[in-house]
Each structure stands twice: as C-alpha cells, then as structure tokens.
Structure 1
C-alpha cells in the first residue's frame, strides 16, 4: 500500500509474476474464480486477486479440477471461525490425499511391472546377441 492505496497490477505484469499467460487469467475470470477490478477496459489485479491465483495454481498442481478449486476457494474465503467450512476443507484435502495414495500404489505396480518387462527383454536380447557372435 502506498499512501493508503493498494498497488494494482496489469494483466501482463501479474501473468509474468505467476509464470502463466494473460489468457489463463482471462479463463479463470470467465470461470468465476477471480474477479479483477477494471480501470476503463483494462483489468487490474489487487494483491488479494494475485494471492487467489496462487491458490488456484496450487490447486491445479495438486490435481484438483476447476470445480473443486472453486469449492475450495469458497472454503478459504469463509470465516475460519466457521468450523463446518474448515471441516469441509479438511475433508476435501483428505479425499484428494486418498485419491493420490491410490494413484501412487497403481503407479508403483506399473513401474514394478515395467522394470520386470525391461529386465526380461534385456535378458532375452543378451542371449540373441550372444548367439550371433
């Protein structure tokens, strides 16, 4: 804040600082996830909207859909004294943890199988190469 005014940033400045494109910011605005202010026709972003974008990006990185992110943002926006909302946030996180743990198990099984197939293939190739000599 400078002299009681919050510093506002333009769309390109925010996009650059977050490592995304202005198109991504417009998409999230169209989906109702962020609501930048406007000065004339130009979008300007407050510190609050930039932080909200960081939460959205974290949600995407964690594998949440935009619908799920919208729900999570509503929980973030809720008064932390509202126990039901905080329990809802914890529940959503628990569900995602369980999904990821199941995916991890599936990935580990797939990796184990691929390693086994690779070893078998290499063992078979070694025998073929040896016979040619």
Structure 2
C-alpha cells in the first residue's frame, strides 16, 4: 500500500460507509486514525483494517469477534492471528452450511404451499 492518507470523508466514500459507521468503528477501537485537531487521517494500515472489517461483516462475524481477531496481531503476531482466523472461519462455515440447509428446506416448503394454493385457484 502507499503512504497516501485519506480524510474522513474520503474514507467514507472509499468504503461506502456512513460517517456514523466510521465514527463507531473508531469508538470501539477497530480503527485508530491519526488526529490533527479535529481532522482525522487514515493511512494504509487503517485502510487495510477497514477492508478486513467489512469482509468480516460480510462473512457474518460480529464486530466484537473482528475486534478481538485484530487485537491478536498486535498482541501476539501473525501466526496466532492466522490460527484464530482459521478457527473463526471453520465455525462460521459450519454455521453458514446449517443456515443453507434451513433455507433450502424453507424454500421447498414455500414452493409446495404456493403450488397447493395455485391449484386451488
């Protein structure tokens, strides 16, 4: 990554998040921008962290899980963080598979009920 710094507004635009979301991520210590008076500046580290945060949310992880995972790197380094990631991913994959089975069953039930109703018309 480059050493380019993004302003608060640029960071919101780059990641398509609201100012409230970005402030909240700072509040819960997911992001630590440089502060110059009232201005906030986001360097390559914060851009990378934001990418990981949003990816983690898309995968279904809670913000607390993401925060703890990011803290592992600072406290213990890369290898423990990767192991924690594998453990989280395994758990989430199992949960998503469970949800897919449940969703498939729900879709099947809904189709059957719709068919029954359509035949009665």
Answer yes or no: same fold by TM over 0.5: yes
Provide the residue aligned with 1:39 in structure 2. Answer: 36
Larger RCO of the pair (alpha carbons < 8 Å, separation 6+): 2
TM-score by length of 2: 0.90
Secondary structure of 2:17's match? coil
Displacement of 1:22 in angstroms is 1.7
Displacement of 1:9 in angstroms is 1.2
* Rg (Cα) greater in structure: 1
Distance 1:15 1:57 in 2: 12
* RMSD between aligned residues: 1.8
State whether residues 8 and 45 of structure 1, in contact with CA within 8 Å, keep that contact through their aligned partners in structure 2.
yes
TM-score by length of 1: 0.82
Aligned residues: 120
State whether residues 75 and 89 of structure 1, in contact with CA within 8 Å, keep that contact through their aligned partners in structure 2.
no
State whether residues 36 and 43 of structure 1, in contact with CA within 8 Å, keep that contact through their aligned partners in structure 2.
yes
Displacement of 1:89 in angstroms is 1.6
Displacement of 1:47 in angstroms is 1.3
Deviations 1:4-23 (A, max 9, x none): xx321110011101111122
Aligned pair partner of 1:74 in 54, 71, 75? 71
Moved over 6 A (4+): none
Provide the residue aligned with 2:53 in structure 1. Answer: 56
State whether residues 10 and 44 of structure 1, in contact with CA within 8 Å, keep that contact through their aligned partners in structure 2.
yes
